[in-house]
Amino acid sequence: MSSTDTTDILLEAGTNELEIVEFYLEEEPKEDDTVELNEKDGEEKEGRKKSRKGYYGVNVAKVLEIIRMPKITEMPEVSHESVLGAFNLRSRIIPLLDLSKWLKKKRVENEPPKAIVTEFNQVTSAFMVSGVTRIHRISWEDVEAPNKYVSALSSDSITGVVKFDDRIVFILDLERIVSELNPDMRLKLDDNAEFSAETGYKALITDDSPLIREMIHDMLGQAGFRVEKTNNGRECWDRLMEIKESSIEEGRPITDFVQVIVSDIEMPMMDGHHLTKKIKEDPVLKDLPVILFSSLITDKLRHRGETVGADDQISKPEITYLAQRAAGLIEERKASSK
């Protein structure tokens, strides 16, 4: 396969659709896999087990390009065996990680591997895979959260499961993988940040990662917010409908119940762009500030959040700045409504 550029196939924002690049790892068969007979030149060869393919996916929005296996230079003091080294791509030095080693799979090399070059959280990385099959356009409603068994088998690196007629595709949590290898990319609360603990502002947050939900909850709490958590965009929207109903029944402004919404973008059932679009189209909710907090906030993709009316977009490592902007947007709305 020649170099493949994915920049021209991004979806329109707010449709609650997702495009994933499907790829596979050619894996050593399990002990209980069927032994098959192969015939070649009229001779029967027994006892040879076929390799098996494990299918995985990643959001197209994170993929810069797909290339042939590049020439690798070893990196000093590598912290994990899955890091193969680095390569030069148009004057950019990019680290390459062997996904099969990370997932604790024994890869079988039946064909030259490929490298998927990605960009998220403002970092460029590459992942070696056996091959790339196709791009799927699906609804976020078709993405299921992984169960505990699947998570355990994948080193907690699976963020979603998509079931097709002939196979299952596991959507990889590349952010988790990269942050495990590079501690500087992990979300950290800034102990030196100063907040007014007397704001009492009410925030509704949604993120499908339990760890990130708790970090946002703790950080906003430290900044004086009262925080309610939801697990995905659909759950957040349903909660907003309940709040809206209470607001109407009690004859009180919506801001008595919630004053800012913080949302991830990639979530099962309903993504953050679709959630934002629905909020901004609702006559009661439309003036509530919405902040998209995601690894997909890049210069190339920022226009998608702007299209659906997001009030701000913040890349996930900048968690301390999130609290400052949330308070700032609330204060700006209060001032403009006087």
Highest mean pLDDT among 30-34, 142-146, 257-261: 257-261
Query: How far is CA 200 from its chain centroid?
Result: 30
pLDDT number for residue 160: 83
For the stretch 143-155, pLDDT in tens is 887 777 666 666 6
pLDDT of amino acid 193: 61
Q: What is the pLDDT of residues 168-182, one digit of tens each?
A: 999 888 887 887 777
Higher per-residue confidence, 136 vs 150:
136
Pairing of strands 4-5, 63-68: antiparallel
3 state SS of 129? strand
The predicted pLDDT at position 180 comes to 77
Q: Environment class of residue 284 by beta-carbon count within 10 Å: exposed (0-12), middle (13-18) or buried (19+)?
A: middle
Residue 22 reports pLDDT greater than 50:
yes
Higher pLDDT pick, 36 / 110: 110
Q: What is the DSSP letter of 20?
A: E
| pLDDT for 46 | 43
Mean pLDDT rounded to a whole number for the chain: 82
Contact by Cβ (8 Å): 132, 21: yes
Indicate the SS3 state at residue 38: strand
CA distances in angstroms from 227 to 148, 216, 218, 323, listed in the order given: 27, 9, 9, 12
Which pLDDT does position 110 carry in this prediction?
83
Cα distances (Å, whole numbers) of residue 54 to 104, 144, 169 = 12, 18, 8
Least reliable range by pLDDT among 27-41, 103-117, 162-176, 186-200: 27-41
User: Would you call 127 helix, strand, or coil by DSSP?
Assistant: strand
Lowest mean pLDDT segment, chosen from 135-139, 191-195, 273-277: 191-195
CA distance linking residue 321 with residue 316, whole number of Å: 10
What pTM does this model have? 0.74
> To which CATH superfamily is domain 4-28+50-184 assigned?
CheA-289, Domain 4 (2.40.50.180)
Model confidence at 194: pLDDT above 90: no
DSSP, res 73? B
Is the predicted pLDDT of residue 165 greater than 60, yes or no? yes
Q: How far apart are CA 66 and CA 3, in angstroms?
A: 5
The domain spans of the chain are: 4-28+50-184, 187-336
- 37-80: pLDDT as tens digits: 344 444 434 444 477 889 999 999 889 999 999 999 988 776 77
Q: What's the topology of domain 187-336? A: Rossmann fold (3.40.50)
Q: How far is 50 from 149, CA to CA, in rounded Å?
A: 25
192 or 284, which is more confident: 284
